[in-house]
Chain A
Amino acid sequence: MKISVTVNGTRYERDVEPRTLLVHFLREDLGLTGTHVGCDTSYCGACTVLVDGRSVKSCTFLAVAADGAEITTVEGLAADGELHPVQEGFWERHGLQCGFCTPGMIMSSVALLEENPSPSEAEIRHALEGNLCRCTGYHNIVLAVQYAAAKLRGEQPPPADWEEVGA
């Protein structure tokens, strides 16, 4: 089937099999391998992308269902080499270790902050319930999103809590 999608601002016309999953289309056809596959069953969230601004687990979303849509992947967030505030937050607040869950975490966080610019910690955790991480213990991921939220609101991000650490 022919589909037409805009991915990270570029329009693509492609012929895809009806069974092709969006994540495979992005990775194999467009070479956008920043979107990862962690579980195949829409449980881990590593494959999260934005479809028309809404976060979607692209491992259980057909490419043909994205026909006509605007898709944003992790590769499309940085503008002219400048990191998106959410990317900056994960960088600055050490919100990653192995990094495999990170693109999905970032995309879910972007979707959250577009809906809710001032989320509480509980709201951040609720929004990221569909994204698993095995390395960080999530603590720094929450700090990363809080950092990004402040940045996006034009405020100074809260200081890191490293000072509290240590004895």
Chain B
Amino acid sequence: MSLGISIVRDDARAKVTGAARYPGDRVGPDLLHAVVVFSGRPHARMVSMDVRPAFAVPGVVEVVTAGDIPVNEYGLTMFDQPVLVGVDGTGRARVASDVSRWEADQIAVVVAETPEAAAAGAVALDVDWEDLPVVADLEAALTDEVLVHPEAGTNRYVHHRIRKGSPEAGWAAADVVVEGTYRLPHQEHAYLQPEAAVAYLDDDDRITVEIAGQWTHEDREQIAHALDLPPERIRVRYPAIGGAFGGREDMSLQIVMAAAVRKLAARGIRRPVRCVWSREESIVGHHKRHRGIVHARWGATREGVVVVAEVDAYLDAGAYNYTTNKVLGNLHLTVAGPYEIPNLRVDSWGVYTNAVPGGAFRGFGAPQGAFVAENQMNRLAEALGIDPVELRRRNVIQEGSVGPTQVPFPAGVSMPAVIDACAEAAERPVAVPPPAIPFASLPADESRLRRGRGFACAFKNVGFSFGFPERCEATIELHGDDEVERVVLHHAGADVGQGAHTAFRQMAAEAVGVPLERVEAVWSDTAVTGDSGSASASRLTFMAGNAILGAAEEAEKRWRDGDRPAIGEFRYVPPPTEPFDPDTGRGDVNFAYGYVAEAVEVTVDVGTGHVHVDRVVCAVDVGRAINPRLVEGQVHGAIVQAHGYALTERLVVEGATIRNPRLSQYLIPGIGDVPAHVEAVIVEHPDPVGPWGARGMAEMPFIPYAPAVVAAIHDATGVWFDEIPLTPDRVLAGLRRAGVAQ
């Protein structure tokens, strides 16, 4: 009744009229303004910091430093970063607080009457540093000559293994071997709304932070930990969120803004404090998709059966773990592709450097894994003379297949059907419009244009897994007398723009069995909503849907017992998972997967190196499309973001410093740069444990795009590329090396 229909998203009216409020939209004379001061030094020990010159700036009210953070440590999965770097630490932290390990380590918050005064106060801080040798990149880090975290004993601080079958036996059986070393780039999230927050004491004197994040309760937990306060004293609320894509999973302003409010309150100042980052602060100040280097060697029989793969992968964690250990786990799992390979050795390392931390970004390690696996597969197809789609059909995982972790995949494996759906749709000819914006101001020379097609597929887990205590809570109130007149859903799940709240309301209406108009909701506020878990890992529809189903059942039971209103609270816990075995990688690591395949057609200008993507067919198994229009929006958005990853977005990080932190220098696709024609093929193969069969899907269309483009460029030019983004200069250089271009 309420599912499978494309209602307009609930927040559309507020967003088209300018009424939607984002975190930086609070204005007024009662505000104080904060500037967060970065160290500006990738590796240095702080000798001293004198805050008195900042207080001498007219309008400066307060300066927050390390001494104001009782437990000066932060980390989603490892406490390896000081909240504020400083020399006045309390000593109650597991990490040395006087060392800056990243150019955007935060050292102080200056609070003032105006943004200008806060900025002047920040400049006035008198800080002395002793510079330390900088570990600029993976190559430097792997020597272990300089350690970013001496307490870890090595820069290679996390290592996963897979030992399946016998690679020796595999090599003995292999007729054809392909080998490649792949270099994967950083990627910046570039959500349109730079970080911003307003923090204040609420009516119950809770330290309250209004911010755009991805998991209200984790934000609260991190603030409470660092400030050594009970979580009930902290409140986190999300107003409208201007995009996230994983980039808001780690803390930016949460802890330091709460600390500022606390310090002001101790002086009797109860004014709200606002901080809004510039684009430059945003790009320098938050983590990125990991860059990395992966070496892969795969072998297959003449008949096209992949019998062995060996892979060594390195991800640049940057200065702090953030979620690197988890991202690495996903790379590790996906780097041999959705194929049943009997003999497999994978070694994956996360490596500290002084560069920007790597962390969550749509796909979470799977894009890097798929780039390697699908390039290897496409090169094997060429070496064997077998059609790339056919080669996949011969090796693809099926229901019951034993995966790289040596246990069967969870039920509901639809990879073969998704590959078929994509290949069939791609065979249907369509009239593809010419590029909306030509390559250049002059028309392209037709004789230089080469056309080609490429294919890739991928899988990724849905939900937090590898042993994580995954859960999601929902509360449903049923109001009325004889019949349910009004339903109120309480849910913390973050609507980062994907339309989660609209889908949740649809699922609540379906679960209770009332028309959609009767469902109201209370969202994303730790004071009034239970713990939803994060808006990441393509998990929210899956997890929230199951929580809503449970809450509705509980509420209906109470309704039948006569409760008015009848209130159902439910905490959904999915099937348990376990981490990789440290020696073999064995384990039941995930409870659900999403599957995706993409076919692309490109035109390459061999005179200029420009690559134009003419057509993309994306088949993605969503299990059940709760709101097909929102699903299609995720496909289009993910493909264009992946287009940037594959072709245009080059973050320059030299000497562990970001050199191009502006949207004028770091080029995300504009409306004229995108694929000319995108077809979304929505496959609905139910997940056995998904709500109404739904799977997570928002990351999937991103994942196979880059290797599909690389394959199409090879089809067009005969040249393989092993590094992205394929900007024109890089393409031209590669074509010249191969003698294809002059």
Whether A associates with B in a native complex is yes
A residues bordering B, Cβ < 8 Å?
Answer: 27-28, 31-41, 43-44, 46, 73-75, 77-78, 83, 87-88, 90-92, 94, 96-103, 106, 121-122, 125-126, 128-129, 131-142, 162, 164-167
Contacts of A75 on B, CB cut-off 8 Å? 17-19
Contacts of B189 on A, CB cut-off 8 Å? 134
Bitwise interface map of B from 242 to 264 toward A, beta carbon under 8 Å scored 1, else 0? 11110000000000000000000
Asked if B668 contacts A125 (CB within 8 A), the reply is no
Asked if B671 contacts A32 (CB within 8 A), the reply is no
Contacts of B425 on A, CB cut-off 8 Å? 167
Contacts of B433 on A, CB cut-off 8 Å? 121
Chain B residue with minimal CB distance to A121? Answer: B436
Asked if A91 contacts B632 (CB within 8 A), the reply is no
B421 is an interface residue with CB less than 8 A from chain A = yes
Chain A residue with minimal CB distance to B616? Answer: A137
Contact of A73 among B18, B240, B244, B680 (CB under 8 A): B18
CA distance A35 to B24 in the complex (A): 11
Residue among A73, A131, A134 with the highest chain B CB neighbour number at 10 A: A134
B171 is an interface residue with CB less than 8 A from chain A = no
- Contact residues of B between 393 and 437, Cβ < 8 Å to A: 421, 425, 433, 436-437
Contact of A135 among B19, B243, B278, B674 (CB under 8 A): B243
Asked if A162 contacts B671 (CB within 8 A), the reply is no
Contacts of B276 on A, CB cut-off 8 Å? 37
The 5 A-B residue pairs with the shortest CB-CB distance in the complex, in nearest-first order: A34-B18, A98-B497, A137-B636, A99-B15, A100-B242
Asked if A132 contacts B668 (CB within 8 A), the reply is yes
Contact of B637 among A37, A41, A128, A136 (CB under 8 A): A136
Contacts of A78 on B, CB cut-off 8 Å? 17
Contacts of B439 on A, CB cut-off 8 Å? none
Asked if B496 contacts A98 (CB within 8 A), the reply is yes
B682 is an interface residue with CB less than 8 A from chain A = yes
The answer to whether residues A41 and B497 also contact, given A96-B15, A166-B628 and a CB cut-off of 8 A, is: no
Bitwise interface map of B from 590 to 623 toward A, beta carbon under 8 Å scored 1, else 0? 0000000000000000000000000000010000
CA distance A131 to B11 in the complex (A): 21
Asked if B18 contacts A103 (CB within 8 A), the reply is yes
Contacts of B716 on A, CB cut-off 8 Å? none
B266 is an interface residue with CB less than 8 A from chain A = no
Asked if B663 contacts A43 (CB within 8 A), the reply is yes
CA distance A125 to B8 in the complex (A): 24
Asked if B633 contacts A106 (CB within 8 A), the reply is no
CA distance A131 to B270 in the complex (A): 39
Chain B residue with minimal CB distance to A83? Answer: B16
Chain A min CB distance to B153 (Å):
40
Chain B residue with minimal CB distance to A130? Answer: B670
Contacts of A125 on B, CB cut-off 8 Å? 436-437, 671-672
Chain A min CB distance to B737 (Å):
33
Contact of A137 among B17, B496, B640 (CB under 8 A): B640
The answer to whether residues A98 and B680 also contact, given A75-B18, A165-B628 and a CB cut-off of 8 A, is: no
Contacts of A38 on B, CB cut-off 8 Å? 192-194, 279, 663
The answer to whether residues A106 and B16 also contact, given A44-B192, A135-B637, A139-B678 and a CB cut-off of 8 A, is: yes
The answer to whether residues A36 and B22 also contact, given A94-B8, A94-B629, A137-B636 and a CB cut-off of 8 A, is: yes
Asked if A41 contacts B663 (CB within 8 A), the reply is yes
Contacts of B16 on A, CB cut-off 8 Å? 74, 83, 87-88, 90-91, 96, 99, 102, 106
Chain B min CB distance to A141 (Å):
7
B440 is an interface residue with CB less than 8 A from chain A = no
CA distance A97 to B682 in the complex (A): 19
Contacts of B22 on A, CB cut-off 8 Å? 33, 36, 100
Chain A min CB distance to B164 (Å):
35
CA distance A75 to B193 in the complex (A): 19
> What would 11 more interface pairs be, CB under 8 Å, given A34-B17, A99-B242?
A33-B18, A33-B21, A40-B279, A75-B19, A94-B6, A98-B193, A99-B20, A129-B671, A135-B637, A137-B638, A165-B680
The answer to whether residues A131 and B671 also contact, given A102-B15, A165-B680 and a CB cut-off of 8 A, is: yes
Asked if B18 contacts A134 (CB within 8 A), the reply is no
Contact of A74 among B17, B240, B496, B637 (CB under 8 A): B17
The answer to whether residues A137 and B279 also contact, given A46-B192, A99-B242, A100-B242 and a CB cut-off of 8 A, is: no
Asked if B682 contacts A138 (CB within 8 A), the reply is no
Asked if A91 contacts B12 (CB within 8 A), the reply is yes
CA distance A132 to B644 in the complex (A): 13
Asked if B437 contacts A126 (CB within 8 A), the reply is yes
- Contact residues of B between 1 and 34, Cβ < 8 Å to A: 6, 8-9, 11-22, 24-25, 27-28
Contacts of B629 on A, CB cut-off 8 Å? 94, 162
Asked if A138 contacts B193 (CB within 8 A), the reply is no
Chain B min CB distance to A26 (Å):
10
Contact of A98 among B19, B241, B664 (CB under 8 A): B241
Contacts of B496 on A, CB cut-off 8 Å? 98
Chain B min CB distance to A23 (Å):
12
CA distance A129 to B663 in the complex (A): 13
CA distance A153 to B15 in the complex (A): 24
Chain B min CB distance to A47 (Å):
11
Chain A min CB distance to B73 (Å):
31
Chain A residue with minimal CB distance to B497? Answer: A98
CA distance A126 to B672 in the complex (A): 7
| A-B residue pairs in contact (CB < 8 Å), sample of 23 | A36-B242, A41-B279, A44-B192, A91-B13, A96-B12, A98-B244, A99-B16, A99-B20, A99-B242, A100-B192, A100-B243, A102-B16, A103-B18, A122-B436, A125-B437, A126-B436, A137-B641, A162-B628, A165-B628, A165-B632, A165-B680, A165-B682, A166-B625
The answer to whether residues A99 and B240 also contact, given A33-B25, A129-B671, A136-B637 and a CB cut-off of 8 A, is: yes
The answer to whether residues A98 and B671 also contact, given A39-B663, A122-B437, A166-B628 and a CB cut-off of 8 A, is: no
The answer to whether residues A134 and B682 also contact, given A31-B27, A33-B21 and a CB cut-off of 8 A, is: no
Asked if A137 contacts B497 (CB within 8 A), the reply is no
